[in-house]
């Protein structure tokens, strides 16, 4: 970004999307209308995955460059975050970071396609300083393991990353009165009650001008694919439109439903983002 230029997250995502015309068109629709829907499984695979990866890469890059002050990502799914259940060793992650510097991310991912590309982008998120929370249902996780939809070994990989971050962290979060947990930039929260209709991921971040952006998507987790769920994606470069009610009503409904649901499960998005760079975080104070 040239010196003195204004941070434009939409452009950053567009650059990450690259030459995928279908994903570019969908992203332009989201930024113009605050909302779009991908109503088929094939469209989801082509568009939603590319956009989510591009948003995560752009967000991590902006955090690393100092273009944003604070950021929170919440992945709200029935079972632990799918990309973090895939194994990526330190050497592979170092090679991925090197490919970023060399401008060859696509080439690296093409050569290392044994794990999904979001196995790298989600790791880059929390390693860049984005508070990344996996909110999931232990009950649904146990059911998925019993039904052989997911492997216990995959969940163990995820748990190992959580423990590693906890070990390296000096940060404590207050979830409710008298209930404190030690958390790293990568954290897990157990859903008290899980709403399948709100399966997806939500990202909010504050830029240097003080504007808080929000991006969210709703759909299904990988092991539930093929069930005919419609995917919806929404983005706003200033969440003040929620107060002024000047945005797309579908965006407002989706974002308000998500924030209420997360807050009921000990994830207060706006408290998390304001305390993301503070060692002691209290979501109720």
pLDDT digits (tens, 9 = 90+) for 137-193: 999 999 999 999 999 999 999 999 999 998 877 666 665 545 566 678 999 999 988
- 285 — pLDDT class (breaks 50, 70, 90): very low
65 pLDDT band (50/70/90 cuts)?
very high
282 confidence band (pLDDT: 50, 70, 90)? very low
Between 257 and 227, where is the model more confident?
A: 257
Stated pTM of the model: 0.89
**Of residues 206, 168, 205, 160, the one with CA closest to residue 185:** 168
DSSP-derived 3-state class of residue 172: strand
Report the 10 Å Cβ neighbour count for 201: 23
Q: Is it the case that residue 242 has pLDDT exceeding 90?
A: no
Residues 6+ apart with CB under 8 A from 200: 76, 77, 216, 217, 218, 219, 258
DSSP state of 185: S
For residue 140, CA distances in Å to 78, 152, 195, 200, 223 come to 6, 13, 11, 15, 12
Which SS3 state, helix, strand or coil, does residue 40 take? coil
Q: pLDDT tens across 87-136, in order?
A: 999 999 999 999 999 999 999 999 988 889 999 999 999 999 999 999 99
How high is the pLDDT of residue 179? 59
68-93 pLDDT, tens per residue?
999 999 999 999 999 999 999 999 99
Q: Which of 52-56, 162-166, 174-178, 223-227 has the highest mean pLDDT?
A: 52-56
- Distance in angstroms (rounded) separating the CA atoms of residues 90 and 123: 11
Q: How far is the C-alpha of 107 from the C-alpha of 161, rounded, in Å?
A: 26
- Per the structure block, which two tokens stand in for 12? 């950053």
């Amino acid at each position: 970004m040239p010196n003195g230029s204004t941070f434009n997250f939409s452009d950053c995502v567009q650059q990450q999307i690259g030459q995928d015309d279908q994903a570019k068109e969908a992203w332009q629709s989201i930024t113009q209308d605050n909302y779009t829907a991908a109503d088929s499984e094939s469209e989801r695979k082509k568009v939603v995955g590319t956009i989510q990866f591009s948003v995560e890469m752009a967000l991590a890059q902006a955090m690393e460059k100092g273009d944003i002050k604070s950021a929170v990502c919440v992945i709200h799914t029935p079972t632990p975050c799918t990309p973090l259940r895939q194994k990526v060793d330190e050497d592979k992650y170092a090679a991925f970071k090197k490919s970023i510097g060399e401008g060859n991310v696509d080439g690296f991912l093409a050569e290392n396609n044994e794990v999904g590309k979001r196995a790298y982008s989600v790791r880059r998120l929390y390693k860049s300083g984005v508070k990344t929370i996996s909110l999931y249902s232990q009950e649904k996780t146990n059911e998925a393991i019993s039904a052989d939809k997911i492997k216990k070994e995959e969940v163990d990989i995820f748990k190992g990353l959580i423990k590693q971050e906890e070990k390296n962290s000096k940060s404590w979060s207050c979830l409710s009165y008298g209930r404190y947990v030690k958390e790293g930039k990568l954290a897990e929260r157990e859903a008290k009650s899980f709403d399948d209709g709100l399966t997806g991921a939500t990202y909010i971040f504050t830029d240097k001008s003080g504007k808080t952006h929000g991006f969210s998507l709703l759909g299904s987790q990988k092991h539930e694919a093929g069930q005919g769920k419609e995917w919806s994606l929404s983005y706003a470069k200033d969440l003040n439109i929620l107060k002024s009610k000047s945005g797309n009503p579908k965006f407002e409904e989706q974002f308000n439903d998500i924030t209420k649901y997360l807050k009921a499960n000990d994830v207060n998005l706006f408290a998390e983002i304001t305390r993301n760079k503070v060692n002691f975080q209290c979501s109720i104070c």
